[in-house]
Structure formats: structure tokens, C-alpha cells
Chains A and B, each alone.
Chain A
């Protein structure tokens, strides 16, 4: 089954404690993205990757890092989380080709930073 898998689904942690949210896709997609969703703001892109070892900033990259060492994985790293990073996070992937290819989304990760 084609899917994007995020872990963990929920996490409550404290300010400053480094955390990583993993994302893995099994569709051999070149493109992967991270979004955060906040009430009243919709989804905003944090980082994206066009292929292995190719990453770039989205609209709200401050406080986040990513890496793309393998095609299937695209972890999101919060080196020193702060309360303003409390949010719902989505990983998404899509294949190369026409832009009408839908992005496949993971089920989301709810992060609470105390």
C-alpha cells in the first residue's frame, strides 16, 4: 500500500530538548515536504526536498532542520524546540512530472512543546 508514514503521531516535550519527527514514503517519490498546520493559518511549508541531498527552505523554516540522505526518508529536526513550535505537522511526497500529481500526506504529528 502506497503511504507516507510519520512518527511519532503525538509528542509532548519540553523546551530545548532536541527531537526528530521521522517521515518515510514507499512510493519512490523524488519530492518530499514538511508543513505545519496552525488554527486560522492553514498549512505552511517548512522545508522541501527535490531529491536526495537536495533540500531548501519553505515559508517558515526558522527553528527547523531537515536532511535527505535516502530517497524514502525525510526527517524533521527541532534542535531546540520552543513553545511556538507547538503545532500539527505533516509530511508529504509526490513524484516527478506534471504538477498535478497529488501530494500524498502522512497522518500528521501533533507536537506540544511545554
Chain B
């Protein structure tokens, strides 16, 4: 079974600064997908960014980028020019490429990092 670890329960950053959220995972698979989800106080789950394991290039979405290190099984999220609206819980998630059952459709989540933006 895969596991996802977010070692930072809480992070704080000054507005306009850059912050990096850590995520490591454990898997024996070679093909998989990784995601970062944002959960603001409204509780909605919002997809921030995704990465295919077979792609070497790190994914980028505007101010959000990842540092994907496949050999190290690390998938960190960097938020540049932090804004007050970035304050939220952030969850790292893993999804297998398999569709043969055994929860193949589901996401395995880390426990989350609470990001605080200081004005």
C-alpha cells in the first residue's frame, strides 16, 4: 500500500514571500500520479497542481510549482509571491495508474499542512 507523508503540520509565511511545502511518498510502482489539493476554510477541495511520474519536467501553474524527485520519492510544492487567499490546508495525494481494483481509483492523501499567510 502506498503512503504519503507531509511532515509539516503547519507553515507560516509573510505575504509576497515564497514558501515550500514538503511531501514524501512510499510506493513500489513506477507509474503513478501526484497531486496537491488546497482546502480553504470553505472546506472545498481544489486541485492546485498535478504531476505524472513519467514526466521529468516539473509541473507549473502560475505561482505554484512542484519539485518532483522520483528517486527520492519527494514531491514538494512551492508557492511564490504568497497571497492572503493562499491560506488553507494543503494536501499532497498519490494515485496509482492501475485500474485493476484495490482502490485503484482512489487518492491516498497525506495528513495535510496548514498554511498561514502573515500580512
Q: Are A and B subunits of one complex?
A: yes
Q: How far is the CA of A96 from the CA of B97 in the complex (A)?
A: 11
Pairwise interchain contact B103-A48, C-beta atoms closer than 8 A = yes
Pairwise interchain contact B103-A59, C-beta atoms closer than 8 A = yes
Chain B, interface size category, equals 20 to 34
Instruction: Tally the A-B contacts, defined by beta carbons under 8 Å.
Output: 70
The chain A residue with its CB closest to the CB of B100 is A50
Q: How far is the CA of A96 from the CA of B99 in the complex (A)?
A: 9
The chain A residue with its CB closest to the CB of B50 is A100
B70-119 residues at the A interface, CB under 8 angstroms: 91, 95-97, 99, 101-112
Min distance, Cβ B108 to any Cβ of chain A, angstroms = 8
A48: chain B residues at CB < 8 Å are 103, 105-106
Partner-A contacts on B (CB < 8 A): 4, 9, 32-33, 35, 42-45, 47, 50, 52, 91, 95-97, 99, 101-112
For the residues of A in contact with B, the DSSP-based class is strand
Min distance, Cβ B40 to any Cβ of chain A, angstroms = 12
Min distance, Cβ B58 to any Cβ of chain A, angstroms = 15
18 contacts between A and B (CB under 8 A): A31-B105, A33-B106, A35-B107, A40-B9, A42-B110, A43-B45, A43-B107, A43-B109, A45-B107, A48-B105, A58-B106, A96-B99, A99-B32, A99-B96, A100-B52, A103-B47, A105-B44, A108-B44
Pairwise interchain contact A88-B43, C-beta atoms closer than 8 A = yes
